[in-house]
Each structure stands twice: as structure tokens, then as C-alpha cells.
Amino acid sequence: MLSARPLAVHVTETAPRGTDAVLLFDDDGCPRGVVLASSRTEDLLTEPSPVVAGDLLVTPVKNGKKNGVSAYSLTDGRRVWHAGFGDANVRALARTRTDEVAVVTSDHPWTYLTRLGLNRGTQREEPTILRDLPLGKRFAFFPGPPGSYVFVNLDRSDTLPPTFDVDPVFGW
């Protein structure tokens, strides 16, 4: 289940003609839309986990060899916007404020944090370079006080801290 209200469920059937889609339902449980996991324009990725922001499902996608993030309407399943990240891997998504989502990407050897506006998926500012962060292969992150984030490593490791925070640095 991706969202409880409105209800959005990712269904993957293993039968030869099975469904692989996000099914959308209204408050009465009646179907109201579908987001196909694979289409001519892009494929939805299940890792990192998508996030729900208002009436949008924001999810990592792949179009051929190009990576990106797309937002789909939870009311009818249509794609609202797309933000391309080229060859950079989308590593994590988080809802930050009511009007934006943050995306962590990696393009060896650099890791970036980019904030996208929910209305059109446009960048709010230049991406922030995240230097020397002890990030595992899988992690989640959450907004803290303005400009700061808390990261949680999801991999079991004795060499990485389970959690750490990043605060903004001003005056460089």
C-alpha cells in the first residue's frame, strides 16, 4: 500500500498476463485510476520507495538508460510532471515541506540533494553536494529543522552509523 487516503496499492501479479500497476481507489473503494508500472515513456521503479505528497505519487522512474522522478495524480493516474536526472541514480526520496519533495542522487563520485517543487517538478535551487556522508546502499532521509535532514542507514553494518543529521553550512 502506497497511500491510505486516497487508497493507492501497487499490485504485481506473477501470472503470465498479470497486472503490474498502481491501482487507485476513491473513498468508497471504487476504482478511479491506474498507473501502469511500464509504459512507452517510462518504467516505475520500486527502489527507492515512492512518496505521497498531497494528491501526488512521486516515484523514481527509468526511461531507457535515463533516470528521473515523475509525479502521478492519485485521483486519476495521469502523469503530472517529470524531472530528469540523466545518468545519476535516484537513491532516495522524501517529502520535505508541503510544496516540495527532496531527491538524493548519485553520479559517481558525487552525491546530490535536489529539492523539487510539487506543482511542476522544477528545481528550487542548485543541488546541494553531500560530501563524505556515511551512506549505505539503502537509506531513508527525513526533513529536520529548515535546511537540515536526518539520514537513516537501512543496511546492517558495523562500519556505518545507523543515523546522522546534516545541517546547512552558510558563508562559503
Cis geometry, peptide bond prior to residue 161 (ω within 30 degrees of 0): no
37 within a domain of the structure (yes/no): yes
For residue 14, the model assigns a pLDDT of 83
**Total H helices, total E strands in the chain:** 0, 16
171 within some domain: no
Tell me the per-residue pLDDT of 30-80, one tens digit each, with 9 for 90 and over: 999 999 999 999 999 999 999 999 899 999 999 999 999 999 999 999 999
Residue 148 lies in a domain: yes
Alpha carbons 120 and 99: distance in angstroms, whole number? 10
Q: Is residue 105 part of a domain?
A: yes
Number of domains in the chain: 1
Q: Specify the pLDDT at position 98.
A: 81
172 within some domain = no
Any idea what the CATH number is for the domain that residue 152 is in?
Answer: 2.40.128.630
Kindly state the cell numbers that stand for 52.
505521497
CB neighbour list of residue 27: distance below 8 Å, 6 or more residues apart: 5, 6
- The predicted pLDDT at position 152 comes to 95
Tell me how many degrees the CA angle 72-74-80 measures, rounded to the nearest 5.
30
* Confidence (pLDDT) at 109: 83
- Please give the residue range of the domain that contains residue 7: 3-166
Query: Could you read off the pLDDT of 104-156 as tens digits, one per residue?
Result: 999 888 899 999 999 999 998 888 888 888 899 999 999 988 888 999 999 88
- pTM for the model stands at 0.90
Q: Retrieve residue 138's grid coordinates.
A: 539503502
- Count of other CB atoms within 10 angstroms of residue 144: 13
Nearest to 125 by CA among 150, 98, 103: 103
Residue 44 lies in a domain: yes
